[in-house]
Amino acid sequence: MRQSIERQNWNAEYETQRRYEGELPIPFVDRIIEELGEAGKQQIGLYVGCGNGRNYIPLVESGLTLHGIDISDVAIEQLEQRLPEARGKVFAADFSKISSARVFDYLIAIQVFQHGDKKAIDNLFNRAQIALKPASGRFFLRVNSVSTEIYEQHHILEGDDQFGKTIFYESGPKKGQQIHFFTSDELEEIARKNDFDIVLPTYEVAEQRKLPQTGTWAQWETIWRKR
């Protein structure tokens, strides 16, 4: 049920709300390109939740060989329209059900590994660990912070602001979805449990919402390397 609601909501966002249309890539994209360097252009990566290309396209244009998946088939269609050469490299798929082992040199997940409850989140991180090559695979991660001032109606399903929490949205574009908000300590524990070393210490990025919405929206960004 979670998958069908999530796909339905994201398809609606991309189709009727024109999600990310005209928006610039986030600054984390430049950090990813810098970290991978020239050697990264000889490697193969996977972007989980590539959407319609807001961040995917500039990464590819920098010279990276990057595959992409997204739960929204509408987003993938829009990406292929914007970047025809992406056909055959991007697919509508659910990463939580993918079992590719030791395939990728690096993996990118921007605002994706927060979808679901704690059990679902643990599964995503485990699959990331499996998908990366050992002893060198890098993981570029951006996820919700508990510092976020949640704007839409919701209720807490599990956890709290001290240890990380999962909420259920009762209104807004994510209505009907379970979304997790992390603490930095929680992320460090997840890295340790999944045999990742932290290359770039976790730091928080906060943004003021655009009117008529109010409050701030906060994200953690970090880079890990598989042991």
**Mean per-residue pLDDT of the chain:** 93
Among 195, 201, 205, residue whose Cα is nearest residue 223? 201
Q: Can you list the alpha helix ranges (DSSP code H) found in the chain?
A: 2-15, 28-36, 56-61, 73-82, 118-131, 184-193
**How far, in Å, are 100, 102, 196 from residue 55 at the CA level?**
23, 24, 24
- What is the model's pLDDT at position 38? 96
- What is the model's pLDDT at position 6? 81
Among 81, 106, 64, 100, residue whose Cα is nearest residue 224? 106
- CATH 3.40.50.150 describes domain 2-145+183-226: yes
Least reliable range by pLDDT among 6-15, 37-46, 130-139, 211-220: 6-15
The 10s digit of each residue's pLDDT in 192-204 is: 999 999 999 999 9
pLDDT mean over 71-86: 95
The 10s digit of each residue's pLDDT in 152-191 is: 999 999 999 999 999 999 999 889 999 999 999 999 999 9
| Residue 55 reports pLDDT greater than 80 | yes
Residue with tokens 């510092």: 147
| φ, ψ dihedrals at 47, nearest 5° | -105, 110
- What is the model's pLDDT at position 4? 73
| φ, ψ dihedrals at 36, nearest 5° | -75, -35
- What is the model's pLDDT at position 1? 40
pLDDT mean over 53-65: 97
Domain boundaries, the chain: 2-145+183-226
Residue 17 banded pLDDT, cuts 50, 70, 90: low
The 10s digit of each residue's pLDDT in 95-125 is: 998 888 889 999 999 999 999 999 999 999 9
